[in-house]
Amino acid sequence: MRWTLKPKPDLKTVEALRKALQVDASVATLLIQRGIETYEDAKTFFRPSLADLHDPFLMKDMDKAVERIENALANDENILVYGDYDVDGTTSVALMSSYLKTKSGSIATYIPDRYDEGYGISYKGIDFAHDNDFTLIIALDCGVKAIDKVDYASEKGIDFIICDHHRPGDKLPKAVAVLDPKRDDCEYPYKELCGCGVGFKLVQALASKDDKTVEDLGEYLDLVATAIGADIVPITGENRALAYFGLQVINTNPRPGIKAIIAQVEKKILTITDVVFIVAPRINAAGRMKHGNYAVTLLTETDEGLAKTFAAEINEFNLDRRETDKRITEEALIQITENNEQDRITTVVYHESWHKGVIGIVASRLIETHYRPTLVFTKSGDKLAASARSIKGFDVYNALAACSEHIEQFGGHKYAAGLTLKEENYDAFKQAFEDEVSKTIDRNLLTPEISMDAQIELNDITPKFYRILSQFAPFGPGNMTPIFMTQNLQDTGYGKCVGEDDKHLRLTVTQSHAKLVGIGFSLGDKLHLIQNRQSFDATYSIDENHWQGNVSLQLKLRDIKA
């Protein structure tokens, strides 16, 4: 592990914020590292308000989208709500369709089949709309590059409204409206909304025509918060307010589908991390293992009994997904060993039987063992399809672009991409990708990095300090859980390995007169570094340990060094 300490902010700025907020310098430093430099910034950060959400009509084409939908509702047109099969897509479709169904009985939903139709708007989906007399399609979390598909729909007399958050190409589709904050000509103040967030802004705009405010739309925020967490968008600005209030809905009055998912685990209060690891994988499993329609059905169900039945079904998909990705990961690791590829700069593995729905998860799992850019291929029709995952600091999209002579098509971004190629080009591509990454990667990036916010002493960790830190939540990109480093620690002598195969480390650390329990998941192999009261350094986050009705602070250890 590489340990890197974030640079200390300017001392004058720290002191000014410390005085304005009446907090310790360590708290002021953490805030400035997150772009919060004034009293007003801090007020917005610590006290999110729905009133701070931007006017939806600041988004380019919002007026056109609202006008077209109002006309469709007035004329009782059939409206098809279309979205991608992942969490962001299915929550978007659930949100938009359930809102529009309060206005009209002529609303239906469509999720493309992951394997038959693939990502985004499909010709098959447009044909479905035409065959069933839909004259308006609202596409969510997809469509900003679907130029030919939108033209095809237009020829059949079907209008499109697109709500997307992906970066557009050079040309936009000829839709009635293209809502995308990442459009170059869109002056919407916040650019990091997810697809469901853009859908929510459209609902907010439609509701305003009925003199409703954003406070009247609280019932939809559980969906928005789930999408924000699952799509790993920055939890800053508008997303922070939406996630903050969405979590309140999830924890107090969630829709029956989300309530039924939560009931499957023993968890009273969910954080955004819980949403990412408990709610999102179950919703995603529908599209991975069966069909995204199952997720939309669950998320729009109003009857609690039926929601429980649907949630049980989706939980089975998720268990199947877990079993499948675990087996494929094991098979891929064996393949790497048998091919003597442990010391390569990249991982590229393939088997024709691997399940296409989980190869992205498998790529992420392989990086846990072999930390390097990774591609997992499987057979898809007469071609090979792959999911690519990268490591911090390396742009896998650019590396794929440099190997494009071997690739049929590819898309994605810096850290995740998808591609297809002809089977006969696999070996040549595998070597070209290894050569390209070897040539361009900084070798330091091949060692995982822990980025630490600050160095503190053990006696700085007080209940008051933790109370302030907990108000930094919800955590996520742009506002990650603070990571600290403390030097010259000792174990009290009772440190030991715990858990299955003694995989984890439990200890009680001391420094001067301060003493705290620490737990290090997957750090069992570091036991020798703390024995015999030898001095060591640790990097960690701080959380609460709940045990037999008692609550105490503990260190969640990330790494230990002698």
Residues 6+ apart with CB under 8 A from 155: none
> Closest by alpha carbon to 464, among 352, 553, 533?
553
- Torsion region of 133: left, alpha or beta (phi above 0 gives left; psi -120 to 50 gives alpha): left
Are the CB atoms for 92 and 139 separated by under 8 Å? no
Please say whether the beta carbons of 430 and 348 come within 8 A. Answer: yes
Helices (H), 47-146: 62-74, 87-100, 123-131
Positions of the chain with pLDDT lower than 70, given as ranges: none
Phi, psi of 205 (to 5 degrees): -65, -45
The three-class DSSP label of residue 471 is coil
The predicted pLDDT at position 118 comes to 83
Convert the pLDDT of each residue in 202-212 to its tens digit.
Answer: 999 999 999 99
CA pair distance 108, 88, nearest whole angstrom: 18
pLDDT tens-digit profile of 276-298?
A: 999 999 999 999 999 999 999 99
- Backbone phi, psi, residue 390, to 5°: -115, 180
Give the pLDDT of residue 411.
81
Question: In this structure, what token pair is assigned to residue 379?
Answer: 């057979």
Q: Specify the 3-state DSSP secondary structure of 371.
A: coil
List all residues 6 or more positions away from 491 whose beta carbon is below 8 Å from its beta carbon.
Answer: 507, 508, 509, 510, 530, 531, 533, 536
In the three-class reduction of DSSP (H, G, I as helix; E, B as strand; rest coil), residue 487 is classed as strand
pLDDT of residue 549: 82
pTM confidence score: 0.92
| Per-residue tokens: 553 | 């602070």
Q: What is the pLDDT of residue 105?
A: 95
pLDDT of residue 291: 94
Distance CA 67, CA 115 (A): 35
pLDDT at 358: 95
281 cis-preceded (ω within 30 degrees of 0) = no
